[in-house]
């Protein structure tokens, strides 16, 4: 089976812009979770989608949003980008609510 794929792998944006990241889960997995990884804060949970519904949400401002499509692919959007949004954004898919498999991540740099 193909693993979790994320696009794009690298992205450079400027403050105030918005960005959309995409994640394709492992075939058959219906749950997709998003994480932000930074050197200072580690891996922080953004949100989880299951069957097109947001099931859990972390403590991030409303500028961070996501959605899931009927084929389980998911997108996350960050509006009004800030310098502090520079991070590696990781997507993980799972069949159950437990074992999560991560993609390679999208590295976002905000200038």
Site residues (CB under 8 A) for other proteins? 4, 33, 35, 42-43, 45, 48, 55-56, 58, 90, 92, 97-105
CA nearest neighbour of 89 among 15, 7, 2, 27: 7
**Cβ-based nearer residue to other proteins, 22 or 104:** 104
Which structure tokens are listed for 102? 């991560």
**Cβ-based nearer residue to other proteins, 66 or 103:** 103
**Cβ-based nearer residue to other proteins, 48 or 85:** 48
Contact at 8 Å (CB) between 2 and 26?
A: yes
């Amino acid at each position: 089976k193909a693993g979790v794929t994320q696009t794009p792998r690298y992205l450079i944006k400027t403050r105030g812009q918005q960005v959309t990241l995409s994640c394709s889960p492992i075939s058959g997995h219906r749950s997709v979770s998003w994480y932000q990884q930074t050197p200072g804060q580690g891996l922080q949970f953004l949100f989880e989608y299951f069957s097109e519904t947001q099931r859990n949400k972390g403590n991030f401002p409303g500028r961070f949003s996501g959605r899931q499509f009927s084929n389980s692919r998911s997108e996350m959007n960050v509006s009004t980008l800030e310098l502090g949004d520079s991070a590696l954004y990781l997507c993980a898919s799972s069949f159950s609510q437990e074992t999560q498999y991560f993609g390679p991540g999208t590295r976002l740099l905000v200038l």
